[in-house]
Structure 1
Amino acid sequence: MSLNLDKLVDKDFRGKSINEILAAPPSALLGLSPNHDEALAALKIKSVGDLGKWQHAVHAQALVTLAHAEVAETAADA
């Protein structure tokens, strides 16, 4: 199987495998810089993999995924 990840990563990481990208610093992701690497390192996030497994990021992604399924409570339900 082949995936094109070029729109997700910085030009230096185009053509790399998923495992190579996961081991790379967060700045491998398009839009992040070495300054972000420093800030994230303070949170013990030193790789793309660490960022993807970071508890708070996982929780935020779960909320984003579930948001479309939430039904607003109506006055009749209260």
Structure 2
Amino acid sequence: MAVGVDLSKALDKAFEDKTLKEILDSSPAALAGVTDATAKALKDSLGIDTIRELGSNKYFAVAGVLVALEGKTK
């Protein structure tokens, strides 16, 4: 089963036609709203160089789970 996802609002224009692998291997600055300075800060403070590393980072994963749980406890 093929799955389509429109990421045009989530990515900078230059990355809209890239493959998923190319996007995941890109700097977090490829995400719409993430500046080069923010990407550098992620690298310098947490060692995050790619979107893949950002998405699999344990701190961001825990934060995402906590936010999801909040919606279930109300």
Alignment pair present for 1:36 and 2:38: yes
TM-score with structure 2 length normalisation? 0.87
- Find the aligned partners of 1:3 and 1:20 in 2 and give their Cα distance: 15
Of residues 14, 17, 21, the one that matches 1:15 is: 17
What are the ranges of 5 or more consecutive residues in structure 1 without an aligned counterpart? 72-78
Q: What amino acid sits opposite 1:54 in the alignment?
A: N
Normalised TM-score (structure 1): 0.83
| Superposition RMSD in Å | 1.1
What's the CA shift for 1:57? 0.2
Unaligned runs of 5+ in 2: none
Task: Look at both structures and tell me which one has the larger radius of gyration over its CA atoms.
Answer: 1
| Moved >4 Å (runs of 4+) | none
Q: Counterpart amino acid of 2:66?
A: L
The structure in which a higher percent of residues are helix is 2
